[in-house]
Amino acid sequence: MKTLKDLGDLKGKRVLVRADFNVPLDGTTITDDGRIKAALPTIKALREQGAKVILMAHLGRPKGKVVPELSLAPVAARLGELLGITVPLAADTYGEDAQAKVAAMSDGDVVLLQNVRFNPEETSKDPEERAAYAKKIAALGEVFVSDGFGVVHRAQGSNYDVAADLPAAAGLLVEKEVKALSRATVNPDRPLTVVLGGSKVSDKLGVIDNLLDKANRLVIGGGMAYTFLKAKGYEVGTSLLEEDQIETVKGYMERAEKNGVELVLPTDVVINPVFPKSDEDIAPEVVAADAIPADKMGLDIGPESRKLFHDKIVDSKTVVWNGPMGVFEVPTFAEGTKAVAQALVDATAAGAFTIVGGGDSASAVRNLGFPEDGFSHISTGGGASLEFLEGKELPGLKVLA
């Protein structure tokens, strides 16, 4: 994979950078600027070289239409604050305004192009249509830097096809992500513990399948745990359950035993009568994992499980975590996710290499107030991290070879 140092002297050159600025918004207020901050090292490195930095990114799913609420204006404003400069936002991605703003740039300037997904060609399944669109963007620059790790698992115009038209390399963030995830999956320090949570086991099938041959220990929590508990013959009440995955899960459990992989499941859970939509819906109680009433649902791991998971995580040299342990957005059901985050912090302090695998896990550690430097690496790519852990070839990385 080519990196920034392979691009040579960039002084005075127009450098197109595909970043990942798909940040959560409350109206026009950014509620988590982690992805913007993650892009700063590459932007600063290019500015220090005297490059003209032309940033492009997507926000949300406008489905090829101009949706004013998904403008990158809040991103341009926040990026300017973080860099201490004004970051102009082009009114389009490659049209007259983008061309004019790029033409007016001086060395070290930064311009942000409008949401690439306002263009239907960006995510087109037609390679020719996508390639023709990418050439219009590529005409703005002389060099391409891929630094949006959150989109490298997709072959899209601004992160894949543009690389065919310009000298291309990975930015510092993508390079950092690949090194961290590779360290966890290629000859990792052992024991290697993989902690998986989130709502659906089907979202993690590829990861489990790949890591059953690599991990020493799999720790399963979140909504996906109830399919595992059901596969053991337990009553799971009205908890989230994927009936069609029970036989697959049974196969994984057999493989884990055969491969000597320790499979750690919750021993107790926090249940509630219904999925909480308000404080009035919350009436939690703790029960053993094999004693969930038929009319209740599990929404978090219990205190015994928290200690069990903590001990297994701290007894590791490498830890990868992807997916919360419960409905962490509701404080009552956030304790399991907090416990796992704290366990990773403790493991890191003890010398382990720890990765928070993007998506909800990354949001959780920030929203729950954990320091980012308490973990070895917090990934910016949810889907990309998962597919990397699945062992898949990612188009956005392959094109940089």
User: Is 204 assigned a ligand-binding role in the annotation?
Assistant: yes
Is 190 catalytic? The answer is no
Instruction: Outline which parts of the chain fall under CATH 3.40.50.1260.
Output: 4-170, 178-389
Catalytic residue among 35, 52, 296, 312: 35
Q: What is the dotted CATH code of the domain comprising 178-389?
A: 3.40.50.1260
Task: Consult the annotation and say whether 154 binds a ligand.
Answer: yes
Is 32's pLDDT higher than 90?
no
Q: Kindly tell me if the per-residue pLDDT of 360 is higher than 90.
A: no
- pLDDT higher than 80, residue 358: no
Query: Would the annotation count 206 as a binding residue?
Result: no
**Cβ neighbours of 13 (radius 10 Å):** 19
Mean pLDDT throughout 171-189? 95
Eight-state DSSP code of residue 196: E
Q: pLDDT tens digit string along 64-104? A: 999 999 999 999 999 999 999 999 999 999 999 999 999 99
CA separation for the pair 354, 345 (Å, rounded): 8
Say if residue 176 carries a ligand binding annotation.
Answer: no
Residue 58 annotated in ligand binding? yes
From 336, 359, 381, 382, active-site residue: 359
**Which three-class secondary structure state does DSSP give residue 288?**
strand
Of 216, 220, 217, which is closest to residue 197 (Cα–Cα)?
Answer: 220
CA-angle at 163, arms to 386 and 144, nearest 5° = 100
pLDDT at 76: 98
396 catalytic residue (yes or no): no
Q: Each residue of 283-310: pLDDT tens digit?
A: 999 999 999 999 999 999 999 999 999 9
Contact 59, 21 (CB under 8 A): yes
Please report, rounded to a whole number, the percentage of residues in the chain having pLDDT higher than 70.
100
Quick: pLDDT tens for 209-250.
999 999 999 999 999 999 999 999 999 999 999 999 999 999
What is the model's pLDDT at position 61?
95
The percent of residues above 90 in pLDDT, for the chain, comes to: 92
Residue-wise DSSP of 34-66:
HHHHHHHHHHHHHHHTT-EEEEE---S--TTS-
Is 22 labelled as part of a ligand binding site?
A: yes
Task: State yes or no: is 63 an active-site residue.
Answer: no
Asked if pLDDT for residue 145 goes beyond 80, the answer is yes
**Would you state the pLDDT for residue 279?**
87
| Residue 221 labelled as part of a binding site | no
Q: Which ranges constitute the DSSP H helices of 108-234?
A: 127-138, 172-185, 205-211, 225-231
Locate all alpha helices (DSSP H) within 189-294, ordered by sequence: 205-211, 225-231, 246-259
Q: What is the pLDDT of residue 65?
A: 97
Structure-block tokens of residue 177: 């992500």
**Annotated binding-site residue? 260:** no
Q: Using CA of residue 29, residue 137, residue 126, residue 384, what is the dihedral sign? A: negative
At residue 264 the predicted structure's pLDDT band, cuts being 50, 70 and 90, is very high
Kindly name the residue from 2, 44, 200, 255 that is annotated as catalytic.
Answer: 200
**78 labelled ligand-binding:** no
pLDDT number for residue 245: 96
Q: Is 35 annotated as a binding residue?
A: yes
Q: Look up 383 and say whether it is catalytic.
A: yes
Residue 298 assigned to a binding site: yes
Check residue 238 and give its pLDDT.
Answer: 98
Catalytic-labelled residue, pool 64, 95, 206, 383: 383
Instruction: Report pLDDT digits (tens) over 109-121.
Output: 999 999 999 999 9
Confidence of residue 197 (pLDDT cuts 50, 70, 90): very high
In tens, the pLDDT along 125-141 reads: 999 999 999 999 999 99
CATH class of 4-170: alpha beta
* pLDDT confidence tier of residue 254, bands split at 50, 70 and 90: very high
The pTM (predicted TM-score) of the whole model is 0.90
